[in-house]
Amino acid sequence: MSDSRAASLRALLFASSAAGMLVAAPAIAADATAEDGVVVTADPQQQPANLGTIDVNGQLKKPAPVSPEFVAPLVDTPRAVTVIPQAIIEQTAASSLQDLLQNSPGITFGAGEGGQPLADRPFIRGQSSGNNIFVDGLRDTGGQQREVFNLEQVEVIKGPDAVYSGRGSGGGSVNLSSKSPKLNAFNNFSAGVGTDGYVRGTIDANMPLGETAALRINLMGAQGDVPGRDSVDYDKWGLGVSLGAGLGTGSSMVFSYYHLTGDQTPDYGIPLFTKIQSRTTDSGVLDVPYGSFYGLKARDYLTNEVDSFTFKAEHRFSDLLTIRNVSRYAETLNDYIVTNPGDGGYVGRAADGTYWMKRGTKTRWNPVTTLANVTDLYGRFETGAFKHSYDVGLELTRERNRNAAYSTYTTSGAACPTGLTTVSGSRPTAASALGADDCTRVYDPTPDDAWTGVINRGPTSSNTTETIGLYANDSITLTERLILNLGVRWDQYSVRGLNATSSQTAGVWTTAGYTVVPERTWEFTNYQVGLVFKPTQNSSVYASWSTSSTPPTISAGDQNASGGTGTVDGVANTVLDPEDTESFEIGAKANVLNDRLALSAAAFHLTRKNALILVEPNIFRQEGEVEVTGFELGVSGSITPKWTVFGGYTYMDSELTKAAVVVSGTPPVASVNPLQGLPLANTPKNSASLFTTYRLLPKLTIGGGVYYTSKSWGGNQGGAGGGNNRVYAPEWTRVDAFATYDLSDRASLQLNVKNATDEEYIMRTNGVHHADPAPARQAILALNLRF
């Protein structure tokens, strides 16, 4: 850990201890203000755990999406939407987006490939959705590993949602809602310590500045090791500042700044059978100890940086019309050198029969700048007997994405053993592009090896993306029991680029030149239609149809692509059409037990088509297709005032219905891809989660979480272009434990034990290079206080 980061963390913890105060436990809500701004005066000791806000009658209010695109309450919205509230963030001791989204079944995370290595890469309903993450309604671009300390809630839309979000993979999107200034004063502090060197502190201070203005400051510092992988450590700090004026009035403005710096040891997990054809598990993952780490502490690093400035202005003319404008300028950086155990120089066997690996690397320097502006006009009106709740909007964005690689030429490294040969019996020359020997044992790697070499950043390629989006949503109340939901969006997506051509010798780059990628533009229109029937005021059944479009430059989730052309029917440089996704969904929702508990169920059939594939020798067409059919169940709220639950179950039956053919022989002969008809990557058939708490005594609440995922195929298996492996992550079940004890009406102790049974499992694999073991057991104790 760097001295500057350690100093930042020490300063944060000193400030917390000097004040003698730490963040409130979820059982005593951090923000005890009802949605209408009324301060709650009920005894917080007697309130159920906060899965939303608590109204003045002590009833639980369900969290709801904050974006104006949602023109109806969730119970009247004809699609699956999961809102993960702040209480779940706090109770589960989440510190990353991946931690948090495990509470929404049907979402998996892909391994570090697919255009966004070492960055958040969620899969929703089997579709790569790394480019479909939003913050406060604006697309959050740039490869990064997101934090949660500045979040009030997370909204997950399942299925094609282009009408809400614009271009995307069609699986769905994730919107992160930031903490915003309030008109009531509160201060929350938290400091936690745990096993594996865990230390984390947060400050959340809200200060009213007069009757209609407020300032809110959130600060976070953390450091530790990844449990079970002692060579992998991290430290990070973050700051969120938001200043609001005109709050609670018809005209308001909020300015926000967000910063995050994360430094950590990058981890590409453990190798697959592709490195050694024996001593493997059935899944294809090499049977090395899960704590094995193949990187080099002397060389490898990962730095994530985010700086984001957001300005939101809103003016309410009347019930008929409100205008809201949100603008953002953001810079992100994903910068790393990582050892990839699946892409080493070679793997060989020494004379004594031991296996050795020559380390290889993956590198990236990837800064992204984004300028975005979204304007919404929304409100309510009536046309005769029909009532309308509408939103009309315009989105303008410009993203500049730069990308370069580092040379990592070894001048002195760990020696390879004498007589080392590859499994095939030959030994590549040591003076390869990787430089001098730099070896480690496959079954007993040594991350503390000394290393010296040449590290230089190569020439930079870049692309610029500009988008225009026009959209309209309308929820039309036809009768007391019947609601029609309509949505349409038109997008124009343009990309141009500059690609560098270069080579390196002994770590020194030579730039051959730059190739201009001409600007290419796509236009597409997407729709959403839903019909809602309401048996009662608090329940609904619905049917809906929705679509989404994915420009070919991001079809693989690679936000650094600047192509968009291919050879189609023998014609080179053909501009490809977007991939299209459509989904049919039926479902039901109900708020029961005096509106304390929300239940939901949905069945869906999703089709993604128009991917470019090889259909016969030397002939490519956009005919690739995948399908996902499934259903999901959800529950959120309080069964009793003492017992809360949050979770669900998702079943997905996925299939690669049309893949690239396999060509072999002379003359070449095409045959059906053997992977056609098989499940998709990162799409487990069954997944479930349930986090529950129970107030056992007036001051003691206990609970925990159970998380299950069935077998999941590797990341390069089952794409529309095919694949060449059958590597998978076996099914797993994880159990977490939770307890909180109220020391007073202001202070509490919170204990979290993650992976309490110390289950060893693979949480994901990309299917070709490596597999990622899950963290081992970790205990965290936090002292929390609010005032």
Mind listing the pLDDT tens digit for each residue in 472-490?
A: 999 999 999 999 999 999 9
What pLDDT was estimated at residue 18?
A: 35
| Structural contact between residues 349 and 355, judged by C-beta atoms closer than 8 angstroms | yes
* Higher pLDDT among residues 220 and 168, named by residue: 220
Band (pLDDT 50/70/90 cuts) for residue 130 is confident
Cite the beta strand spans of 319-385 per DSSP E: 321-339, 346-349, 355-358, 361-383
* Cα 335 from Cα 312, distance rounded (Å): 30
Strand bridging mode 355-358 / 346-349: antiparallel
How is residue 190 written in tokens? 């938290």
Mean per-residue pLDDT for 206-233? Answer: 96
| Structural contact between residues 771 and 727, judged by C-beta atoms closer than 8 angstroms | yes
Checking if the pLDDT of 469 tops 50, the result is yes
Checking if the pLDDT of 16 tops 80, the result is no
CB atoms within 10 A of CB 592: 14
Question: Reduced to 3 states, what is the DSSP secondary structure of residue 220?
Answer: strand
Band (pLDDT 50/70/90 cuts) for residue 117 is low
Mean per-residue pLDDT for 437-461? Answer: 93
What pLDDT was estimated at residue 190?
A: 98
Checking if the pLDDT of 137 tops 80, the result is yes
Whether 8 is covered by a domain: the verdict is no
Structural domains counted in the chain:
1
Checking if the pLDDT of 765 tops 60, the result is yes
Whether 487 is covered by a domain: the verdict is yes
pLDDT tens by residue, 408-422? 999 999 988 876 665
CB atoms within 10 A of CB 25: 29
What pLDDT was estimated at residue 721?
A: 45
Mean per-residue pLDDT for 150-168? Answer: 93
What pLDDT was estimated at residue 31?
A: 35
Checking if the pLDDT of 517 tops 90, the result is no
Mean per-residue pLDDT for 501-528? Answer: 90
What pLDDT was estimated at residue 39?
A: 28
Phi/psi of residue 10, nearest 5 degrees:
-60, -40
Q: Which range, of 32-36, 526-530, 685-689, averages the lowest pLDDT?
A: 32-36
Cβ-count burial 379-405 (b if 16+ within 10 Å, e if not): bbeeeeeeebbbbebebebebbbbbbb
CB atoms within 10 A of CB 57: 9
Mean pLDDT of the chain: 86
pLDDT tens by residue, 570-615? 888 788 899 999 999 999 999 999 999 999 999 999 999 998 888 8
Band (pLDDT 50/70/90 cuts) for residue 563 is low
CATH number of the domain that 208 lies in? 2.40.170.20
What pLDDT was estimated at residue 769?
A: 77
pLDDT tens by residue, 747-764? 999 999 999 999 999 998
- State yes or no: cis peptide before 684, omega within 30 of 0: no
What pLDDT was estimated at residue 281?
A: 62
Q: Domain of residue 477: give its range.
A: 53-356+369-786
Band (pLDDT 50/70/90 cuts) for residue 276 is low
Mean per-residue pLDDT for 530-547? Answer: 97
Q: What angle do CA 787, 33, 390 make, to 5 degrees?
A: 150
| 479 Cβ contact partners less than 8 Å away, ≥ 6 residues apart | none
What pLDDT was estimated at residue 574?
A: 84
Whether 634 is covered by a domain: the verdict is yes
What pLDDT was estimated at residue 115?
A: 53
Checking if the pLDDT of 22 tops 50, the result is no
* Higher pLDDT among residues 114 and 269, named by residue: 269
Whether 118 is covered by a domain: the verdict is yes
* Higher pLDDT among residues 678 and 718, named by residue: 678
Whether 151 is covered by a domain: the verdict is yes
What pLDDT was estimated at residue 118?
A: 82
Phi/psi of residue 494, nearest 5 degrees:
-125, 140
CB atoms within 10 A of CB 744: 10
Whether 765 is covered by a domain: the verdict is yes
Mean per-residue pLDDT for 619-626? Answer: 89
Q: Which range, of 254-268, 385-399, 663-677, 686-700, averages the lowest pLDDT?
A: 663-677
Band (pLDDT 50/70/90 cuts) for residue 433 is low
**Separation in Å, CA 621 to CA 74, 305, 316, 521, 661:** 40, 40, 51, 20, 11
Checking if the pLDDT of 388 tops 60, the result is yes
Question: Reduced to 3 states, what is the DSSP secondary structure of residue 165?
Answer: helix
Whether 190 is covered by a domain: the verdict is yes
Q: Which range, of 10-24, 363-377, 536-550, 598-612, averages the lowest pLDDT?
A: 10-24
Mean per-residue pLDDT for 265-291? Answer: 78
| Structural contact between residues 145 and 118, judged by C-beta atoms closer than 8 angstroms | yes
Band (pLDDT 50/70/90 cuts) for residue 60 is very low
Checking if the pLDDT of 402 tops 90, the result is yes
Checking if the pLDDT of 275 tops 60, the result is no
What pLDDT was estimated at residue 417?
A: 85
Q: What is the DSSP letter of 296?
A: -
Q: Which range, of 504-513, 670-679, 718-727, 734-743, averages the lowest pLDDT?
A: 718-727
* Cα 773 from Cα 76, distance rounded (Å): 41
Checking if the pLDDT of 423 tops 60, the result is no
Band (pLDDT 50/70/90 cuts) for residue 781 is very high
Longest dimension (CA), the chain: 88
Q: Which range, of 100-104, 279-283, 504-508, 622-626, averages the lowest pLDDT?
A: 279-283
Band (pLDDT 50/70/90 cuts) for residue 131 is confident
Mean per-residue pLDDT for 345-349? Answer: 70
Whether 4 is covered by a domain: the verdict is no
* Cα 360 from Cα 613, distance rounded (Å): 31
| Structural contact between residues 462 and 402, judged by C-beta atoms closer than 8 angstroms | yes
